[in-house]
Amino acid sequence: MPAKFQITSLAERFLPAKRAEQLRPFLQRVDGLFSGEDEQAQAKRSSLIAFAIRIAGAALALLSQVVLARLMGSFEFGIYVLVWTVTLILGDLACFGFHTTIIRYVPQYLQKNQTDDARGILRTGPVFALISASIITLIAIVLLNSLSAQFAPYYWPAFLIGILCIPAIALGNIYDGTARSQGWILAALSPGYILRPLMMLLIFILLLLTGWQPQATTALIAAFSGTALTVISQQLFLRKRIATVLPKGAGTYHLREWIRVSLPIFLIEGFFFLLINIDVLMVGRMMEPDSVALYFAVTKVLALAHFVYFAVKSSVAQRYSQLLHGGDRQAFNDFARNSARWTFWPSLLLGILLLAAGWPLLALFGHEFTKGYPLLFILIFGVIARASVGPCESLLSMSGNQNICALLYALALIVNIALNITLIPLLGLSGAAIATVCAMATEAATLSFVVYKRLGITMFVFAPSARRAGD
């Protein structure tokens, strides 16, 4: 077999002996990260891949939003932001948690050599998502038509186009879950965070070059086209990749069991998606599109700090399932606690950097967007609170505690809505930011408490030790 590439050897060969000796401890840790085969090393590699994709994705998303805001103006951009946010929420919810159920069950089935069961759930996922998403789309169209008098007329055509994206978004989430169930983080995250926004931006620019107006409806047509093309590419890629680890054969179907597990996960993810987007929705309901655009620009800048949390969450869910069903309880506990550390410190560093760079980043959207800079100093506390406990909800979902997790998210959502209704009329956009921080702090505290009570794991970055299982 060929020798593995080692940074330590490379440094000894090309650097002065004294400098190479000084760097040896650090470089050996790096070599251990990329050559180790234990769960910690694999998870760290997955986290780094996810982190790199989220960095590239966040930069691409920021660039695309800046281009849209510059070309469309704050009013049309605000319409697009609100409609696309609602569309993404409905598309994510349309899976009813089945994409996460795939992540939970496929590693378990393959570990126990239950290949028929694995084939069954992987075949069921796309069909289930397509049917449920199509039903939701039809219901949304009926509701949109019946409630059209309840909102401004410029929203109606934009919402109609956005709603048509729901099935493609749902299918994309199923394929994301399929890739994550195998630990294929690059294949899981690249379509949604790289390919889709890139396709949307290129198609939007192409439409403008062919004479279309820079309006919200044009941007949403580009979003529809980009999403559809992305899903087609995902399906073609995963069909070939899955065949290499799971040969063709009969499938066994446990639809009732899978749905029973999926529904609490659906509530968790539904409440979570609403929780992270409710402030934008409430601003859209209570303020003009220009204010929606301003607030959304701030949240997009802050997303550069949030993606650490999502990168770790994307890479550890499958490891949680494997370790839990592998029987090594102490390894499971240690891994869970370490995931909180991997989340917090990079999030804190990026948060500080964003506070320093926030004003020029907002200025990229347009000079009027710099009025949102003070909001960053409020919202950053929510990012730190969530990062301090790591991906607690993934830990609860993978360990069968999804019901209580859903209740905790419902509590945080209620807190968020109540505070938004109270504070937005009093403080405007600052009120929405304060409501969001309070809800995120509630979420983090309650999730960490329940993980400790149910699993005996102290999911808090500054906790000195964790209670061992059975103590």
Residue with tokens 């186009």: 161
- Nearest to residue 314, comparing CAs of 381, 391, 204, 239? 391
pLDDT of residue 216: 95
User: What pLDDT is stored for residue 19 in this prediction?
Assistant: 60
Q: How far apart are CA 391 and CA 316, in angstroms?
A: 8
> Which one, of 433, 449, 331, lies nearest residue 389 by Cα?
449
Q: Which amino acid is at 349?
A: L
Nearest CA-CA partner of 465 in 329, 332, 321, 333: 333
What gap in Å lies between CA 63 and CA 280, rounded to an integer? 20
Residues 16 and 173: their CA atoms lie apart, in Å, by 50
Geometric angle at alpha carbon 438, from 432 and 444, rounded to 5°: 135
pTM of the model: 0.77
pLDDT of residue 471: 43
**pLDDT mean values, one per 10 residues, the chain (471 residues):** 50 62 59 54 64 78 90 93 93 90 87 88 94 95 84 87 95 92 83 92 96 96 96 92 85 90 82 86 92 92 80 72 71 81 88 92 92 95 91 81 85 94 95 95 93 86 58 43
Q: Which amino acid is at 35?
A: S
Spatial distance between the Cα atoms of 315 and 463, rounded to a whole number of angstroms: 23
Q: How far is it, in rounded angstroms, from Cα 100 to Cα 394?
A: 9
List C-alpha distances in Å: 446 to 44, 261, 442: 26, 22, 6
Specify burial of residue 19 (Cβ count, 10 A radius: 0-12, 13-18, 19+): exposed
Residue 217 contacts residue 202 (beta carbons within 8 Å): no
Strand (E) or helix (H) holding 319: helix 289-326
Contacts for 466 with CB less than 8 Å, ≥ 6 apart: 333, 334, 337, 456, 457, 458
Residue 402: the pLDDT is 77
What is the total residue count of the chain?
Answer: 471
Query: What is the structure's pLDDT at 29?
Result: 59
| CA–CA separation, 177 and 95 (whole Å) | 11
CA distances from 265 to 93, 97, 168, 209, 428 (A): 10, 5, 20, 43, 33
Q: Alpha-carbon distance 57 to 355, whole Å?
A: 20
